[in-house]
Chains A and B, each alone.
Chain A
Amino acid sequence: ETGVTQTPRHLVMGMTNKKSLKCEQHLGHNAMYWYKQSAKKPLELMFVYSLEERVENNSVPSRFSPECPNSSHLFLHLHTLQPEDSALYLCASSRQPGFSYNEQFFGPGTRLTVL
């Protein structure tokens, strides 16, 4: 148990559906992150939020829309996804945004399948 929870753990959706992934951290951290992990690839950083403001968007398509209503919660809204978006989506949090000595704590991930 890392103190970062994600729901749902598994999601199957059609290309025309709209769904949301939820992440919650109970660690009192100030930064939250969304990563995508596809098979045999490194973790790809998608978005970074620091003190509830988005500080990084790594050229992610607009069909992925993040939301950070407060420092404990992070959402990823999904619509009109493609089958190649099927992957494990991981949320992480850390204590010190803007510093390089920075362990990130990960949630268990949401396994997303787009049909």
Chain B
Amino acid sequence: DQQVKQNSPSLSVQEGRISILNCDYTNSMFDYFLWYKKYPAEGPTFLISISSIKDKNEDGRFTVFLNKSAKHLSLHIVPSQPGDSAVYFCAASGRDNQGGKLIFGQGTELSVKP
């Protein structure tokens, strides 16, 4: 059973527009959520995170929103740039995990067209 789901395998956006990547989770014990970005032939790099005590966290062009009642989080990128084209993974960890284990979604491949 997949506890973290990214239901859109791909997303295509025009440069300058907003990119919205979505993620759903099922485990109510999750209290920390992260977004990672991955280019081909590289490992994932940490992008932004949010704890369950917040509903929004912003860092430059990147904003993560958390809706705990819906068990849903989203990553907004605005304005989108061609260099943002990559695979984006959401991940979650929680109080019932040991060792800081992260549960990852399947990833969404973002393509930003010039």
Contacts and interface: CB of A to CB of B under 8 A. Distances in A.
Interface of A: 2, 4, 6, 31, 40-43, 45, 48, 50, 55-56, 90-92, 94, 96-109, 111
A56 B100 CA distance: 11
Interface stretch (B12-20, B37-45, B66-74): B37-45
Given A48-B98, A96-B100, 5 more contacts: A2-B43, A43-B89, A91-B43, A99-B100, A100-B94
Interface of B: 2, 4, 9, 31-32, 34, 36, 41-46, 49, 51, 89, 93-95, 97-107
Contact of A90 (B44, B94, B103): B44
A109 B106 contact: no
Contacts of B97: 100
A105 B99 contact: no
Given A90-B43, A90-B44, A102 B100 contact: yes
12 contacts: A2-B43, A42-B104, A43-B44, A45-B102, A48-B98, A56-B101, A91-B43, A97-B99, A100-B32, A101-B51, A102-B32, A104-B100
